[in-house]
Chain A
Amino acid sequence: MIHVPAPDPFTVFGLPRTLDVDEKALEARYLRLSRECHPDLHRSADTGDCVAVLQRSAEINDAWKILRDPWQRARALMELLSPGVLDRNKKLDPAFLGEALELAEEVAFADQTAAGNLRVRLQAAITLDWTAVGKALGAGDFDAAAMCFHASHYHRKALQDLDRKS
């Protein structure tokens, strides 16, 4: 089974292909597009139109889901700019993988105080990852961006596990 990509979210929203977006403006745009295309407000249209409206409305909702989440947005952007780039750069530095394992262990055994410190550290690491991805994309180095993206996955997962624990 292969996933078939829907129209890319940037096109659906009519946005330039950039990593950073103004979140407030993005939300306002989502609400405006929804008003324009929601089937509830286009019920009198004939049947052919109804299906098109339904499809367009689904595209807007699905694009919004991706765009509002920074890391999902980053993934979509990379695939768009260089298809297959994430799959090609899955191999990570063994040293980094060792670190990631240690991190997972730290999360598993963290008590309340340790968890607080760890959370701050992880959030800082994720911010750094984000900047690195942005920089690499700006320089047109998609492979480097993809590697930063994959590396960040371990930080994000650790943070998620930490939150789930509390």
Chain B
Amino acid sequence: MTTNSAASPTGPRLVIGIDLGTTNSLAAIRAGKGTRVLRDRDGEPLIPSVVCFHPDGRTLVGRAAKALRLEYPTRTVFSVKRLIGRSAREVAAETTVLPYQVVAGERGLARVQIGERQLSPEAISALVLQEVKATAEKALGQPVRHAVVTVPAWFDDAQRQATKDAAALAGLDCLRILNEPTAAALAYGIDGSKDGTVLVYDLGGGTFDVSILRIDDGVFRVLSTAGDTHLGGDDFDDLVAQRIFAALPASQAPGQAADQANDPYVLQAVRSAAEGLKIRLSEATSAELQLDLNGTGDRGTVRLTITRAEFEAAISPLVQRTLDCVQRAIKDAGLRLDEIDEVVLVGGSTRVPMVRARIEALTGKPPQTSVDPDLAVALGASIQADVLAGNDRSLLLLDVIPLSLGIETLGGAVQKLILRNSTIPTSVTEEFSTGVDNQTAVDLAIYQGERELAADCRLLGNFKLRGIPPMPAGLPRIAVTFLVDADGVLRVTAREQRTGAEAGIQIVPSFGLSRDEVKRMMLESIEFAQQDYLAREAIEVRNKAAAMVRGTEKAMQMAELPPDQTYPVQKALKALGKLMAANAETAVLKAACEDLTKVTSSIADDVISSAVTKALREEQQR
């Protein structure tokens, strides 16, 4: 075995773990017994989950995109995880105001409107995943095709499926959708000395999850999970942002509130300032803000001091909501508070001192600090990736489904088929029949949620059983098996018991993308990749042409040659300048650059060529 392959995982496949976060994303790998996060060239592991669709046609992802969020607030998309697998109406019902535009696309699904283009949250997440993939490939020095991608435990089926689709669009085969708190528990308990009952409290940028696990000799068993897909650090930011809005200068204050809300620049500036204040309040007991809003117009400045006590009073109800979830999870696990052995905190928002204090007060245990709250999820995902790659057979993860699955019965009630917190895989078989003579199809509506009425649950999809042999009503006996696989994804199969005929099932997803859409988008993403490449090339060629013009002009002055000798150069130079002024196409510009290069070298004067080279070098270094 060479040194090279010993340094990389030696399993049949290279599988990375990806934490696709609301705020930041990152990848990790497990090689042998060690796990490590994959960093970019600057040693930075966190990639901001931000995508900027630059007006010049480029698409920027990560830090480059985040840097542009004030400059292009309506074209810079962040927190897209809040939109994935959801309808525009659901997103609009939220309090968070986004500087970019969310519209209702096909079937009412949330879409992001950038100029003329409408993009699905899946496509935007795919861009973030592509960046993570590229960073991982650079760090590993080899291509990456397979990944385990994490989601909040409380994500429903549609959100999970949408995340899987995003991975596919990014060119990744997603071997598993893994729950974030479970991943964190893996990272915590991997050293093998942590047998016992662990509570993972995961408060991220946009979601809150709590999971209770039992670790027994390498088997990680989730006993229960609870959470809130719309509670996180972003909500803390919102509360601080409200304070800033209230303190805006009179010309910007109420009455003009609508204008402010519509001013993406102000929105983004206030949001960023609020986030900064929140972070400073984790260290200091008060923080001062001086915000200049005159970036692109006369909007005045804001001055404001906020104390930690004020901040804590504002977020207290939200923190209480998380504690209610914790208690529900403990109850669902059939445990008492004092039966929890360890508390593990994950997610950047657990840095808020009040969050730590309140969870400690509730559980009576100082939280574990042995895992980095920002990296734990990705590291845990890489451990599960290693198991799925077939490299580690000592470890086993038994997870649960977070929400009950049921079917609609007569009168709009939901009959639960699989209860929440059931260990997966799990299955149940029910028998159905027909209500009308010679009926050949039966419709089933599958719902996800804990409420009794279908109207209060989330429609997962409509299943149509077809191909039932024509028989008198009530005679066919169709056994329908609902199986939730290890990904937490529902599979439905049906068989007519008398004839043994397999009934075909057509699934119509109510959220997320249909299979055809995913296929189409994969083709489109290749097309967009082409567009992105062309846009970048155009910019590069233009820059090169400008440098050549400046450099050649400088060289001509320095060389002081007779006009007849420099005539071809002057001509080519003039032509190139004209084309640039006329915004000529990339290919034309490229050709003109080549012409210029030819004539400068054809006059073959050492003086000129050396002068040109020297001047060009200077120009390019600028």
Q: Is residue B302 within 8 Å, beta carbon to beta carbon, of the partner chain?
A: no
> A34–B425 Cα gap in the complex (Å)?
11
Residues on B with beta carbons closer than 8 Å to the beta carbon of A44: 12, 390
- Is there an interface contact between A58 and B216, defined as CB atoms closer than 8 Å? no
- A29 CB → nearest B CB, Å: 12
User: In whole angstroms, how far apart are the Cα atoms of A4 and B397 in the complex?
Assistant: 29
B286 within 8 A of A: no
**In the complex, which residue of chain B has the Cβ closest to the Cβ of A27?**
B216
Q: Mark A33-70, 1 if CB is under 8 A from B, else 0.
A: 01100111101100000000011011101101100000
Counting contact residues on chain B (CB < 8 A from A), the size range is 20 to 34
Whether, in the assembled complex, A6 has its beta carbon less than 8 Å from a beta carbon of chain B, the answer is yes
Q: Which residue of B lies closest to A68 (CB)?
A: B334
Q: Which of B176, B219, B431, B485 contacts A35 (CB 8 A)?
A: B219
User: Which residues of B sit under 8 angstroms from A62, Cβ to Cβ?
Assistant: 426-428
> In angstroms, how far is the closest chain B Cβ from the Cβ of A159?
14
Chain B residues 101 to 150 lying within 8 A of chain A, measured CB to CB, are none
Contact between chains at B431 and A54 (CB < 8 Å) = no
Q: Mark B296-326, 1 if CB is under 8 A from A, else 0.
A: 0000000000000000000000000000000
Do B219 and A58 touch (CB < 8 A)?
Answer: no
Q: Is the CB of B425 within 8 A of A57?
A: yes
Q: Which of A2, A40, A57, A59 contacts B387 (CB 8 A)?
A: A40
Shortest beta-carbon distance from B622 to chain A in Å = 54
Could you say which residues of chain A place their CB within 8 Å of the CB of B430?
1-4
With A and B bound together, what is the CA distance between A3 and B480 in angstroms? 10
Report B211-240 residues with CB < 8 Å from chain A CB: 216-217, 219, 221
Question: Counting CB contacts under 8 A, is B547 at the interface?
Answer: no
A31 at interface, CB cutoff 8 A: yes
* B422 and A41 contact, CB distance less than 8 A: no
B219 and A6 contact, CB distance less than 8 A: no
Contacts of A61 in B (CB 8 A): 398, 422-426
Please name the residue on chain A nearest to B397 by beta carbon.
A40
- A3 to B216: give the CA distance in the assembly, Å: 34
A67 CB to nearest chain B CB (Å): 13
* B33 is an interface residue with CB less than 8 A from chain A: no
Considering the chains assembled together, what is the distance between the CA atoms of A90 and B484 in angstroms?
A: 33
Contact (Cβ within 8 A) A35 B396: yes
- A41 with B219, Cβ < 8 A, contacts A3-B430, A61-B424 known: no
Q: Which residues of B479-504 are within 8 A (CB) of A?
A: 479, 483-486
B41: chain A residues at CB < 8 Å are none
Asked whether, in the complex, the Cβ of A54 is within 8 Å of the Cβ of B396, the reply is: no
Inter-chain contacts of B384 with A (CB < 8 A): 40
B466 to chain A, nearest CB (A): 19
Cβ of A163 to closest chain B Cβ, rounded Å: 9
B423 touches A38 (CB 8 A): no
Residue of chain B at shortest CB distance from A54: B425
Q: How far apart sit A38 and B220, CA to CA, in the bound complex (Å)? A: 13
B 421-449 binary contact with A (CB < 8 Å = 1; else 0): 01111111111100000000000000000
Given contacts A61-B422, A62-B426, A64-B423, contact A1 B431 (CB under 8 A): yes
Residues of chain A within 8 A (CB-CB) of B429 are 3-4, 6
Q: Mark B182-223, 1 if CB is under 8 A from A, else 0.
A: 000000000000000000000000000000000011010100
Q: Is B68 an interface residue (CB 8 A)?
A: no
- Which of A31, A58, A59 is most buried by chain B, counting CB atoms within 10 A of its CB? A58
Contacts of B387 in A (CB 8 A): 40-41
A2 CA / B479 CA spacing, docked (Å):
9
Number of A residues with CB within 8 Å of any CB on chain B: 23
* Cβ contacts under 8 Å, B393 to chain A: 41
Q: Return the contact of B427 from the options A35, A40, A41, A58 (Cβ within 8 A).
A: A58
A interface SS class = helix
> A40: which of B216, B396, B432, B479 is its contact (CB, 8 Å)?
B396
Complex alpha-carbon distance, A38 and B384, angstroms: 13
Q: Scan residues 229-275 of chain B and give those whose CB is less than 8 A from a CB of chain A.
A: none
Does B388 have its Cβ within 8 Å of any Cβ on chain A? yes
Measured CB to CB, the nearest residue on chain A to B12 is A44
Looking at the assembled complex, report how far the CB atom of B593 sits from the nearest CB atom of chain A, in whole angstroms. 53
Among B12, B396, B398, B422, the most chain A Cβ lie within 10 Å of the Cβ of B398
Q: Could you tell me the distance in whole angstroms from the C-beta of B162 to the nearest C-beta in chain A? A: 23
The answer to whether B390 and A31 have CB atoms under 8 Å apart is no
The docked-state distance in angstroms from the alpha carbon of A46 to that of B427 is 21
Collect the chain B residues with CB atoms within 8 Å of residue A6's CB.
427-429
From A4, A39, A43, A65, contact of B422 by CB (8 A): A65
Beta-carbon contacts under 8 Å, B375-408 to A: 384, 387-388, 390, 393, 396-398
Give Cα A41 to B396, complex, Å: 8
Contact assessment for B431 and A2 in the assembled complex, using a CB-CB cutoff below 8 Å:
yes
Chain B residue numbers with a CB within 8 Å of A57 are 425, 486
A55 partner residues in chain B, CB cutoff 8 A: 425, 427, 483
Q: Tell me the nearest residue of chain A to B484, going by C-beta.
A: A58
Contacts of A39 in B (CB 8 A): 425, 485-486
8 Å CB contacts to B: which residues of A62-88?
Answer: 62, 64-65
| B394 vs chain A, min Cβ distance (A) | 9
Instruction: State the CA gap A58–B423 with chains docked (Å).
Output: 8
Closest to A39 in B: B486
Contacts of A3 in B (CB 8 A): 429-431
Residues of A11-32 whose CB lies within 8 A of B: 31
Q: Complex: how many Å from CA A55 to CA B57?
A: 49
With contacts A4-B430, A43-B388, A64-B423 taken as known, whether A58 is within 8 angstroms of B483 at the C-beta atoms is yes
Determine the distance from Cα of A2 to Cα of B430 in the docked complex, in whole angstroms. 6
Q: Which residue of chain A is the closest to B393 with respect to CB atoms?
A: A41
Known contacts A4-B429, A34-B396: does B423 contact A40 (CB below 8 Å)?
no
Interface residues in B38-72 by Cβ distance below 8 A to A read none
Minimum C-beta distance from B214 to chain A (A) = 10
Q: Distance (Å) between the CB of B360 and the closest chain A CB?
A: 24
Chain A residues 81-139 with CB under 8 Å of chain B are: none
Per the bound structure, the CA–CA distance linking A17 and B28 in Å amounts to: 47
**List of B residues within 8 angstroms of A1 by Cβ:** 409, 415, 430-432
User: What B residues does A2 contact at CB under 8 A?
Assistant: 430-431
Question: Contacts A54-B486, A55-B427, A64-B423: A38 and B390 contacting too (C-beta < 8 A)?
Answer: no
Given contacts A6-B428, A55-B427, A57-B425, 14 further A-B contacts (CB under 8 A): A1-B415, A3-B429, A34-B396, A38-B396, A40-B176, A40-B388, A40-B486, A54-B483, A54-B486, A59-B427, A61-B423, A62-B427, A64-B423, A65-B422
- By Cβ-Cβ distance, the 4 closest A-B pairs, closest first, are A58-B425, A4-B429, A58-B427, A2-B431
Interchain Cβ contacts under 8 Å between A and B, 27 examples: A1-B430, A1-B431, A1-B432, A3-B429, A4-B430, A4-B479, A6-B427, A6-B428, A31-B221, A34-B219, A39-B425, A40-B486, A41-B387, A43-B175, A43-B388, A44-B390, A54-B425, A54-B486, A55-B425, A55-B427, A58-B425, A58-B426, A59-B427, A61-B422, A61-B423, A61-B424, A61-B426
Chain B residues close to A by CB (< 8 Å): 12, 175-176, 216-217, 219, 221, 384, 387-388, 390, 393, 396-398, 409, 415, 422-432, 479, 483-486
